[in-house]
Each structure stands twice: as C-alpha cells, then as structure tokens.
Structure 1
Amino acid sequence: MNLQELKNNIDKITDSNSDKELKLQQICDYLASEISLYDWVGFYFKNGDKDELKLAQFNGEPTDHIIIPFGKGICGQVAVSNENFVVQDVSEQDNYISCGWKVKSEIVIPIFVNNENIGQIDIDSHTVNAFSKKDEELLEYTCKKVASFL
C-alpha cells in the first residue's frame, strides 16, 4: 500500500468540482479498486434527527442494512462511541450485524464536522485480519477530506 499515492488521489477526488454525492461515490469506487482487501466500501450518515444511520454511496454487493440504529452493529457502535472500530474477525463480535457470509473483518471510521459525528466510512473484507494501522491512517485521512466538503 503506497499511502502517499492513495492520499494524493483522494485529494484529487475531494478537491474536484464534482457534487458531494459524486465525490463520495468516486471515493468508494477508488478505494475498492485500489485495495484488494476492500470488498465493500460505503458511507453511512446520521439520518436527520433520528438516532440512526442511513446508507449513502457504496461500492460492493447491495446490503439490506440501509438503516442502522445507533448502538447496533459495528457502525451503530461507532455512531455512539465516536471512535474508530477495527474488527479483525467479525465472528468474535457479539454486537455484529452480518452483511453477508463472506465478510470476515470490518473497519469503521467516523466523520466529524464541527466536532460532531455526522457519519462514517465502513469497509468490509472477505479476509480475516485484513486491516493495519496504514488502513486506519488512510481512512482517517479520507474522512477528514470528506468532512471538508460536507
């Protein structure tokens, strides 16, 4: 993983004149195409005033999890904790919502705008132990760049 090259290309997407929905889709598509262990890449955002997340742009197999209540699953836990959550083996998680039998690991990084957790990027992998500190650094960077245009 060439972290700097990936960050530079995220910059190109986020600094473009495209609308925010297109930028979010381009980020999903880019990360899914460049990192082989990223089998599903998507964004969830707070659904208005409700204590739930709503699926936005994604790349990967369709999911039934369009709405996720705060506290449920990895994404719902991040909405409450405001902290990164890296799960190297989803079978070891009690509060896990399965998005499919192929998913073996997941990483979720919150997006903050004006110190408020407004959403997150969610990555699923079909490989156990798929994520490293470099993935976390890249995705934190990506979330900061996303926050800059939301």
Structure 2
Amino acid sequence: MFQLQEYKGSKEEQFALATAQLIALVEGESSRIANLANASALLGQFLKEINWAGFYLMEGDQLVLGPFQGLPACVRIPLGRGVCGTAALQRRTVRVDDVEQFPGHIACDAASRSEIVIPMIKYGELLGVLDIDSPLKNRFDEEDERLLEQFTAELVKRL
C-alpha cells in the first residue's frame, strides 16, 4: 500500500491525498465501525510522530472507545472529563500543546505529550470524537487543526 507519510508535498497536499484515500475507503460502505476502523488505520499510517489515533463514540451521556490505532486505551470517558470529554461537551476542537498542563487530563498512554480532539457532529447530533495523541509536545499546529477538521468532516458526511 502507498505510504502517505513518504509523500513530500505540502501539508495541505498530504491531507488532500489522505482525504481522497479516506473517501475511496469509506464511500458506499454502510458499517460505521468499518469506516472508523479504516479511518483510524489511515491516520495511523499517514500522520508522523503520533502514538494514538482513534475514535470515541457517544453512548448515552459518555464517550465509549471505538476503533483506534495504538496502545490499549481508556474505555469510557464522561462528558467534560479530559481532553476528549471537554471537546465533546463543548462541541469544538481542543488542541493541547502539553497534556500535563491540561486540567483533568486522562493519561491512557504515559508517553503522550500533546493531543488534538475533533468532535464528530452530524445533523446537530454528537456522534463522538476523533482523538490523536503524540509523544511530542506542540505536535499539532493551527494548520493540522484545520486540515484534521476537514478530514473529519468528510468522514462524518459518510457515517
């Protein structure tokens, strides 16, 4: 399989290629779990310097672990708790440069130093969140945030 992380274009071009591959993987597939599994595998292959990429899905009033790439993770996260619960409760992307400075951070992987969480909202309903961790502080910038939000929006359209 073509490894996107070897592509030498701009970050914008790399994300465009990853998004095109995502659409090809999920278009026409009705299984939400299969689509999220392929999306997390694609992100795990495509993004450099990360140690976890996956999804938490809304079940009742909490987030429950969904498909992911990385070490075993926390299974249930209450809304408002940690970076994932905060992003879900506030329904906005939360980018944390240093997780040790985030009040209430949930340390599922002690190696994680920075994190970005993007809510997945469709027709006003919170489906869950995309969570990506890195072992590096300051791994995610404003451009990553914008491009990951676009990637997530394309995925949500197809869920």
- Same fold? TM cut 0.5: yes
Q: How far is the alpha carbon of 1:142 from its aligned partner?
A: 2.3
Aligned equivalent of 1:36: 48
Moved over 4 A (4+): none
After TM superposition, list the pairs within 5 Å mapping 1:93-132 onto structure 2: 93-132=102-141
2:145 is matched with which residue: 125, 132, 136?
A: 136
Aligned equivalent of 1:72: 81
Cα 1:31/1:22, change in 2 over 3 Å: same
Give identity over the alignment, percent: 31
Using the size of structure 2 for normalisation, the TM-score is 0.86
Q: How far is the alpha carbon of 1:94 from its aligned partner?
A: 1.4
| RMSD of aligned residue pairs (Cα, Å) | 1.5
The more displaced of 23-32 and 7-16 is 7-16
Structure 2 contact 19–154 (Cα < 8 Å) conserved? no
Q: Which runs of 5+ in 2 are unaligned?
A: 1-10
Aligned equivalent of 1:60: 70
Aligned equivalent of 2:8: none
Q: Which runs of 5+ in 1 are unaligned?
A: none
Aligned equivalent of 2:5: none
How many correspondences in the alignment?
Answer: 147
Structure 1 contact 107–124 (Cα < 8 Å) conserved? yes
